[in-house]
Structure 1
Amino acid sequence: MSQIDGHLTISSGTLPDGGSWQTARALRYRGYRLDLRRGRRRLEVPTDVVTLVVGLSEPLRLTDAIDHRAALRAASPVGGLRRTATVAEHQGRLEGVSLSLRPADAHRLFGPVLGELEHNWADLPDLLGRPARQLIERTAEQSDWAERFRLLDAFLAPRLDQGPQWADEVSWAWAELRRTGGTVPVRDLVQGTGWSRRRLETRFREAVGLAPKQAGQVIRLQRALRCHQDGTTRSWAETAAVCGFYDQAHLTNTFRATMGCSPAQFFDHRAAAEPAAEPSDRVPDRVTSAVLPQAS
């Protein structure tokens, strides 16, 4: 049995209107096959991982949740770390594989172009060219999830082994942001790296795709979402205090500026979604998504 076979979990379900879904998870991969009777709009939360999609069906339409002028249609989108949420739309039939990469691994895969994406998306073939197009074609030829994941492993492994590495200072600064839940002051990162503030922000942005302060905000918001989801905190005021916000108003205002809605509205969307309709979170141990009402 291969490593992927040993971790493979497949789930499926049907909806009252006759639609169906299937997901397959193994290690870093999440396969999905949707045959829904109507389209879906999903609000995708900024996270501390880079999401890559190998799309095997119709393109997704991606729109910035705050700046609606920023949009892309892509079957295999790559999203770097973002400051604001994304609205992802499809017409109901969708198939593909998504994988989540630590930013350091994404840098090994894509190189400096990841930093150039800064708060944007791109189509995978536009970043990696012909090898990516061939990968998508070969993956589409397979119907078995484990085989699809093995193809992706074979594609990724040499690139992750041989790709460029972060500077030690960037790795340390990122680790401090993660360790502190995004609350470490930038001045402490400056002192710890021995770089000037300008050099730190430039090198960090080139490697990660966001400046340290912006990355910290993403990490704090994710922590706040998890605390509420898990019941670790009993109120939004307590969540704000635990997760490094000045007060509840600061958390709510930051959330609105990032997501286009309040924290309560976001969790209302999650609660209102049909229980069997397209399982919500794409990354383990993260609160990543909510199904939105269809636009009128």
Structure 2
Amino acid sequence: MGVALWDVARPAGPGRLAGATMAGFRDRGVTPAGLRLVPPPAITLALVFGAGTVAVADASGRQHRGSIVAGLGFGASRVRQAAGFECVQVRLSPVVAGAVLGIRPGELDGAMVALDDLWGREAGRLGERLSELSSWRQRFSLTDAVLARRAETGPPVDPEVVWAWRRLAGTRGRVRIEHLAAEVGWSRKRLWSRFRVQAGSPPKRVAKLVRFDHAVHRLVAGQDPARVAAEGGYADQSYLHREVREFTGATPAHVAAEPFLAVDDVAWPERS
């Protein structure tokens, strides 16, 4: 993978909020402009702190600086500028994200927004507190406490939506939506509506994102694209190619080589 772009830290164990995972990044000064960000099947919260800077361009070309929230399946996005930044990245399950963020995930509609726009002054105060701490352990502990506190007062999620999300994740996106609706006792239309608002995207698109995530990690691990497509539920390899382009704007070969995935313990478990 060449020169490592970041120093990476991970918590020693799970946090208090189920459905939230964290990692810490410290830029080594070699993050290239144009680095592609590959969307996970989660809502991403990037808490940027310290004296460094980072700017990210979303799928529409709009640039964001500082701490951001990236909606589910945020699309082709790139780092446009990076200089010595530090960041706590939080990946939130769609069914807990609304409680933490204070808005329904459907309001994000897959877009990137500044954390200031959602949390107001609390976002700035959190960045200042993270800057004052001297270790990743302390930063993870602070972030964990903030997530748990906010989750206590956020909007609830229908148990049917939680069930549907777990089924989509557990089957790697390979369950038919009409079957999901039947399992929870809802019409397909009702499931589509509630899931889109409470989880952030319609269930069919979430199924595609979960399937894409599993496939792209297999590609990064060096597996044959034809086999990945056949075993991942794709009609053929060209269908896999189209979905990778849909979520990233790149070919499977380009995405598999992106150094951003080198910090992912699913893609590279030996580096955990």
Shorter-chain TM-score range: 0.7 to 0.9
Corresponding residue SS for 2:233: coil
Q: Show the counterpart of 1:238.
A: 227
Q: Show the counterpart of 1:22.
A: 7
Q: Show the counterpart of 1:261.
A: 250
> Is the 2:74–2:111 contact (alpha carbons within 8 Å) kept by the matching residues of 1?
no
Q: Show the counterpart of 1:110.
A: 101
Q: Show the counterpart of 1:285.
A: 266
Cα distance, 1:37 vs structure 2:
5.4
Tell me the number of residue pairs that the alignment of Structure 1 and Structure 2 aligns.
257
Structure-1 separation of matches of 2:58 and 2:5? 25
Structure-2 separation of matches of 1:173 and 1:284? 26
For the pair shown, which has the larger CA radius of gyration, 1 or 2? 1
RMSD: 2.4
Corresponding residue SS for 1:183: coil
Cα distance, 1:194 vs structure 2:
2.1
> Is the 2:219–2:252 contact (alpha carbons within 8 Å) kept by the matching residues of 1?
no
Structure-1 separation of matches of 2:139 and 2:156? 27
Structure-2 separation of matches of 1:244 and 1:62? 31
Structure 2 residue aligned with 1:53, among 41, 46, 55? 46
Structure 2 residue aligned with 1:41, among 25, 34, 41? 34
Q: How does 1:180-199 map to 2 (within 5 A)?
A: 180-199=171-190
> Is the 1:72–1:121 contact (alpha carbons within 8 Å) kept by the matching residues of 2?
no
- Identity value in percent: 32
> Is the 2:72–2:110 contact (alpha carbons within 8 Å) kept by the matching residues of 1?
yes
Q: Normalization by structure 1: what TM-score? A: 0.78
Q: Taking structure 1 as reference, are residues 189 and 280 closer, same or farther at Cα in structure 2, changes over 3 Å only?
A: closer
Q: Taking structure 1 as reference, are residues 21 and 167 closer, same or farther at Cα in structure 2, changes over 3 Å only?
A: closer
> Is the 1:39–1:92 contact (alpha carbons within 8 Å) kept by the matching residues of 2?
no
> Is the 2:102–2:155 contact (alpha carbons within 8 Å) kept by the matching residues of 1?
yes
Instruction: Please tell me the residue identity of whatever aligns with 2:265.
Output: P
Q: Taking structure 1 as reference, are residues 20 and 204 closer, same or farther at Cα in structure 2, changes over 3 Å only?
A: closer
Q: Show the counterpart of 2:149.
A: 158
Structure-2 separation of matches of 1:106 and 1:282? 22
Q: Where in structure 2 are there 5+ consecutive unaligned residues?
A: 14-20
Instruction: Please tell me the residue identity of whatever aligns with 1:31.
Output: G
Cα distance, 1:210 vs structure 2:
0.8
Structure-2 separation of matches of 1:247 and 1:167? 35
